A and B are shown apart, each in its own frame.
Chain A
C-alpha cells in the first residue's frame, strides 16, 4: 500500500475513536424515567436515519479494524504494548482504590444503593457500604467485600427490578474481579481482567441500546444542554450517540493495537461529562472510569478472538468482525426488548 493510501486508511480508521463531543451522561441520573413503559417499537427505531447511521458505522468499523490489524503487526506497536503492559500490576490497586472511594462516598451520601438514582431508606445499606469500602484495604477481606457488593446488587434488583439493574453489569463484573483477586495466579488474573472487560463493554452497549429504545428520556437533558447535540437534529443525534457508544464498546473487546485508544476515547467522553453534570455523574461513572483505566494499562493480551478470526488475513478479519458487530447490535436489541418484556414492572 502506498503512502497516501495508508494515511487515508489511518485517518478513516481512527474516525470512530475520535467522534467528538458526545459527552456521555446516564440519563436516569438526571431525568424522569419509567422502565414499566415499553421501549419504542422496533419499527419506530429502525428509521431511515437509523439505517444511514448503521451503514456508516459498519463502514467505519471495517476501516477501523483494517487499520487496527495493520498497526498491530508493526514492531513499534508491539514495543508500545510491552512498555504499557509492564504496569499491569497496578490494575488491582486502581480497582481497589476506586471501589473503596466509591463506597465511602455512597456511605457518606447515606441514601443511595449503588448508583445515583437507586435511593433507599434502609439504614443498614450505608453500613454495608462502609464495610465494603474498608474491606478493600486488606487482601484477606476482598472476598467478603465482593460478596457485599453482590448483596447490594441483589437488594437493588429487589427494590428497582431486574430490568433496571440490567443497566449495570459493571457492578457484578467488578465484584467478580475483586473476588478473584484473592486467587494469586496469572491465569485467574487474565480471567478476571476479561470479566472486567466484558462487563464494561456490556454496560456501555446496554446504555447505547437504551438511547435507541427510550430516546424521549434524553429530551429534557437536551433542552437544558442544547449544545450537546452539536447542531444535529434530535433523532439523528440520538442515533449517532447510540452508535458511537456501541461501536466504542464493541471495539474495546475486539480491538488490538487501537483497543487502548478506544478506551481512552470512552474515558475522555465520560470524564468530560463530569464538570457539566456534577458529583452524581462522577459517582455513577466511578467504577466504569476505574475499569477503563485498568483496561488502558492491561491492553489486548487478556482477550483472544476465536481461531477463525485470528488465522484470517487483515481484510477477512475486518469483514468478520464487522459482521460480528452487526450481529451483536441485533442480539443486543433482542436481549433488551425481551428483558423489558420479561421483567417490565
Chain B
C-alpha cells in the first residue's frame, strides 16, 4: 500500500520539483513569497469565518439571529 502512495506522490511532485528547480532564482523567490502570503491570507480568512461560527454557536439561546449577529 505504501509503495503505490510513494510512487503517486513522486509522479505528482515531479513537475513541481522540476519546475521549481528550473525557474530563475529571483522569480522562484518572489513567487514563493507571493503564494505564501496568499495562502496565509486564505487560511486566516477561513479561520476567522470558523471563529465567527463558533462564537454564534456559543451564544445564549435566542441570540445569534440576523438582527443580533456580531459584526465586529
Contact = CB atoms under 8 A, between A and B. Distances in A.
Interface of A: 153-154, 157, 161-163, 165-166, 169-170, 172-173, 176, 183, 185-188, 190-192, 194-199, 201-202, 253, 302-304, 335, 339, 341-343
B28 interface: yes
A44 B23 CA distance: 37
Interface of A is mostly: helix
A199 B18 contact: yes
Contact of B14 (A154, A162, A198, A253): A198
Given A162-B11, A202-B14, A183 B19 contact: no
21 contacts: A153-B12, A157-B8, A163-B4, A163-B7, A165-B8, A172-B15, A176-B15, A187-B27, A190-B24, A194-B18, A195-B19, A199-B14, A199-B15, A253-B18, A302-B23, A302-B24, A304-B23, A304-B24, A342-B3, A343-B4, A343-B7
Contacts of B18: 194-195, 197-199, 201-202, 253
A197 B34 CA distance: 21
Contacts of A199: 14-15, 18-19
A65 B18 CA distance: 21
Highest count of chain A CB atoms <10 Å: which of B3, B6, B34: B3
Given A161-B4, A335-B10, A188 B35 contact: yes
Contact of B15 (A185, A195, A341, A343): A195
A140 B4 CA distance: 34
B6 A190 contact: no
B46 interface: no
Interface in B18-72: 18-28, 30-31, 34-35, 38
A194 B20 contact: yes
B28 to A, nearest CB: 6
A194 B23 contact: yes
A343 to B, nearest CB: 4
Q: Lowest 10 CB-CB distances: which A-B pairs, in order?
A: A198-B18, A195-B19, A199-B15, A342-B3, A173-B15, A187-B30, A162-B7, A343-B7, A190-B27, A304-B24
Contacts of B21: 198
Contacts of B26: 187
A142 B20 CA distance: 21
Nearest to B24: A304
B34 A169 contact: no
Given A339-B10, A342-B7, A187 B19 contact: no
A246 to B, nearest CB: 15
A163 B7 CA distance: 7
Interface of B: 3-8, 10-12, 14-28, 30-31, 34-35, 38
A166 B16 CA distance: 14
A253 B24 CA distance: 13
A198 B19 contact: yes
Contacts of A202: 14-15, 18
Contact of A191 (B4, B5, B11, B20): B20
A176 B6 CA distance: 20
A294 to B, nearest CB: 13
Given A302-B23, A304-B24, A185 B11 contact: no
A23 B5 CA distance: 34
A197 B19 contact: yes
A304 B7 CA distance: 27
Nearest to A254: B22
Contacts of B38: 183
A183 B34 contact: yes
Contacts of B3: 162, 341-343
Contacts of A253: 18, 22
A303 B15 contact: no
A198 B27 contact: no
B19 A169 contact: no
B24 A196 contact: no
